[in-house]
Amino acid sequence: MIMTRGYTLDALNAPFVLEDIELCEPGPNEVLVEIKAVGICHTDASARNGLIPFPFPGVLGHEGAGIVVKTGALVEEFSVGDQVAMSYGYCGKCLPCRKGKTYACQEMVPINFGGASWDGTKKIYRRGKALSSFFAQSSFAQHALVHENSLVKIPKEFPIKMAGPLGCGIQTGAGIVLNSLKPEVGESLAVFGCGAVGMSAIMAARIAGCVNIIAVGGNSESLKLALELGATHIINRKEEEDIPGAIQTITGAGADYCIDTSGNANMIMNALHSLHYTGKLVTAGPTCITLNTGTDLGAKSIIGVTEGNSNPKIFIPQMIAYYFQGRFPVDRIMKFYDFKELETAFEDSLKGKAIKVVLLR
C-alpha cells in the first residue's frame, strides 16, 4: 500500500478531515500521481450535500493535476515526471467509447459516481477500511491513483496550477460551445450564469466568432469580467425584469443559442424564451422544469450535455493551445488557495467570492 494524506468525508454535509489514507499500488493500466493542484467544482459540493448520490465515507475531488510518480506495467502513454491533468473516467470499450465519444460511455455513472474504481474495486483505504472514490480520481489528496484513460499529458510550459479545472468545469463550458453547439460565425449566444462554466462558454463563443455574446448574471463584478473575456453585452438579472425582451432587442429576433449554467428553473425558462423560434438551449445545471411543448418549446430544442461532449485527450490540448494563442485566458477566472484551506475555499466558491477556486500543494 502507498501511504499518503487526503480529505475524507464521512457523511452528508460532514466536515472534511485531512488524515492518513492508503492507496493500492498501481495496477497494469494505472498511474500514481502526486497532486499539485485541484479545482473545486459544484459537483463536489453536490456530492457533499446529497444532490448527487455518494456512498460515504470517501474522498472527493475531481479537477486534479500533478506529476506522475509511478506507472503500471502496461502504461505506455505516461512516464515518471510527466505533468498531467485529470478528467472523468470511462471504460474505453463500449460502442460510444470506441467511436471517440467517451463522454457518452455506457459505464459513465458507475465509474465516476459509484464509489469504486474503474474495475469495480475499492483502492482507497483508511486504517484498513475501504473508502469510496469519486470521479475516477479522488484528488482532494496528496496522491491519486488514476486509470490512464483519465489522464492527459500537459506541456511543461503550461502552469500546472491551472491544469486541473480544464478536466471538468472549464472543459464543460468551452465544450458546450465548441463541441456541442458549434455555432457559425456571426450567430448569437447568451450565457445564463457567470461562474466557471459560463465564463468558459463566453471565451469559447468569442473563439467561435459569435457576433452577439450576451452574459446574464447577478454579480456586477463577474459581469464586468465577462465583458473583458469576450461578452459583447451584459444583463444584470437583478435589474432587468424582461430578460427575453432585452435579448431580443440585442439580437433582433432572439438568440440562436442559450446556455444555462445556473440550474435555476426560472432562469432556464428565461433562456428558453430568449431564443428565436428554432433556437437551441443547453442546460448545464441539473434541475426540474415544467413546460408547454407548444407555447414554450415550439420548434426550439433543449439539449443535454456531459462534460461539454468533450473527449479530454483531444479537447484539453486544444484549450491549452488557445490559451497560448491568447484566446482563452482561463487564468483570469481562477483564485488560488493553500491545500489546507479547503473549507474556506469551498465557502468562497459557494458564496460567489471566487469564480474558479483551486487548491495548491
pLDDT for 335 beyond 90? yes
Owning domain of residue 352: 2-167+329-360
Q: Is residue 263 part of a domain?
A: yes
- Final residue of a structural domain among 289, 305, 321: 305
pLDDT digits (tens, 9 = 90+) for 184-218: 999 999 999 999 999 999 999 999 999 999 999 99
CATH code (residue 26):
3.90.180.10
CA proximity to 261, closest of 356, 205, 197, 218: 197
Comparing 60-64, 131-135, 298-302, the range with the smallest average pLDDT is 298-302
Largest distance between two CA atoms of the chain: 64
CATH code (residue 193):
3.40.50.720
Residues 73 and 126 in one domain: yes
Q: Is residue 38 part of a domain?
A: yes
Q: Is residue 179 part of a domain?
A: yes
% pLDDT > 70, the chain: 100
% pLDDT > 90, the chain: 92
pLDDT digits (tens, 9 = 90+) for 219-235: 999 999 999 999 999 99
pLDDT for 148 beyond 80? yes
Residues 99 and 129 in one domain: yes
